[in-house]
Amino acid sequence: MTFKGIFQLLRPANIVTSVADIWAGAAVSYGMLGFFVDRRDFLADLGWLSLATACLYGGGVVLNDYFDARLDAVERPERPIPRGDITRLQAGALGFFLLFAGILSAFLAGIVPGVLAMLISLLVLLYNSRSKVHPVLGPLNMGLCRSVNLLLGISVIPELVLRMSWLGLFPLIFITAVTVISRGEVLGGNKKALQLSLVLYTLLLAGLLLLGIWQQSLIWALLFGGCWFVFAVRPLLQALKTLAPPEIRRSVKAGVLSLIFLNAAYAGIFASWVPALTIVALLPLSLGLARLYAVT
């Protein structure tokens, strides 16, 4: 086992985007009921939830390689397990440990966050062991993981989880679309699938603008939603031209990293520009890690 192999398995750039989910959800909650909560407790719970999501996401991607070890030996021999940087058994132990640590950290923030963390873990295991091969259920399963992760951030004020659960539709639709694109990372893209993803991206932008109008925060919806759309769509348009695996991988990478802007849009719309810019400040870290370790 090598540290390089572990970090490659963990996909640290992606973990940063999962923390952005939590911060965005917390910003939404604080923007709605922040005057009624103790700030010290709020920040403490936000810390536990940030740690929880890092562990849950890390565990999920490690177990992805654990379950895909035989396939990666053929299609992705550069991955850590086929390359011999870490054994499959070691990867499995690390993945399950991280899921357990994530659940424990979430329960330290409260019962509702703990239950949501357990649900994320179940969705992760379902995706990695069963649903990923299904053309419809696989992408939806992955989208649900991100959707519940946003709710995990919202659960910093537990009574808002059910009330704001509809907001999870945004990451559900977006990550479903990104996962559909990722199906072409090895053999090349499906033009109709990529066109469908482009339509979904456009509908999501329209949804963000409507949210901005509803919350009287259109300027932040335009600013951060526009940044998300440009960041995610430009490589997708290039992938549509070529359908080549390298362009598909770049589109998927951009989709994952663009989540930081999408999360900033929620924060700006429901709270203010301050938490939104705080979330955007995670982007340089994520981009830097993406240069060192694979995103897809």
User: Distances from the Cα of 245 to the Cαs of 193, 198, 227, 260, in angstroms?
Assistant: 14, 17, 25, 24
Residue type, 274: V
pLDDT at res. 74:
83
10-residue averages of pLDDT along the chain (296 residues): 85 97 97 81 95 97 92 84 91 97 98 98 95 90 97 96 97 94 70 91 97 96 97 95 90 96 98 96 96 87
Distance CA 183, CA 162 (A): 32
* Amino acid 185: pLDDT: 61
61: its two tokens: 């991607």
State the pLDDT at residue 58: 96
- Which residues, including other chains, have CB under 8 Å from residue 184's CB and lie 6 or more apart? 190, 193, 194, 239, 243, 245, 248
pTM score: 0.94
Alpha helices in the chain (DSSP H): 3-10, 12-33, 39-67, 69-75, 80-83, 88-107, 111-129, 137-154, 169-182, 191-214, 218-242, 245-257, 259-270, 273-280, 282-292
Residue 27 half-sphere exposure toward CB, CA atoms < 13 A: 23
**Nearest one of 156, 143, 81, 73 to 111, comparing CA atoms:** 156
Q: Identify residue 227 by its one-letter amino acid code.
A: C
Cβ atoms < 10 Å from Cβ of 111? 11
Report d(CA 229, CA 232) in Å as an integer: 5
pLDDT of amino acid 184: 66
**C-alpha span between 5 and 22 (Å, rounded):** 27
